[in-house]
Amino acid sequence: EVQLVQSGAEVKKPGESLKISCKASGYRFTNDWIGWVRQMPGKGLEWMGIIYPGDSSTRYGPSFQGQVTISADKSISTAYLQWSSLKASDTAIYYCARYTYGIDYWGPGTLVTVSS
């Protein structure tokens, strides 16, 4: 059974760094793209980017290029989303998502709250 297990909720201050994780199981991690989707409070879904763990190829959405870093450690089947300096506007739920034909599996989401 495919599972995406995300790290727990985070509360951070503006300017702090953060790395959240998504551990995959039940399939060959290196064979499928995996990515991140943002959902700000009360808003829709936004495509952030994807990574192919097999060769670490990464693609970003224009709004997120340079703002976040997506990475993966294939030795532990885990994808990451990282910020070097958080802003209040980064407050959102972040979903990890596996791509085959569309997103067939979603993680439960990680709530990130950025507040002074």
Partner 1 sequence: ETVLTQSPGTLSLSPGERATLSCRASQSVSSNNLAWYQQKPGQAPRLLIYGAASRATGIPERFSGSGSGTDFTLTINRLEAEDFAVYYCQQYGTLPYTFGQGTKLEIK
Instruction: By CB under 8 A, name the binding residues for partner 1.
Output: 37, 44-47, 49-50, 59-62, 95, 99, 101-104, 106-109
| Residue 97 half-sphere exposure toward CB, CA atoms < 13 A | 20
For partner 1, which is the closer residue by CB, 36 or 83?
Answer: 36
For partner 1, which is the closer residue by CB, 76 or 106?
Answer: 106
Tell the smallest beta-carbon distance from residue 44 to partner 1 (Å).
5
Tell the smallest beta-carbon distance from residue 7 to partner 1 (Å).
15
For partner 1, which is the closer residue by CB, 63 or 85?
Answer: 63
Burial class (CB in 10 A: 0-12, 13-18, 19+), 92: buried
The per-residue DSSP string of 44-69 comes to -EEEEEEEETTTTEEEE-TTTTTT-E
Tell the smallest beta-carbon distance from residue 116 to partner 1 (Å).
27
Query: Under a CB-based contact definition with an 8 Å cutoff, are residues 96 and 107 in contact?
Result: yes
For partner 1, which is the closer residue by CB, 23 or 59?
Answer: 59
Tell the smallest beta-carbon distance from residue 105 to partner 1 (Å).
8
Query: Under a CB-based contact definition with an 8 Å cutoff, are residues 20 and 112 in contact?
Result: yes
DSSP state of 84: S
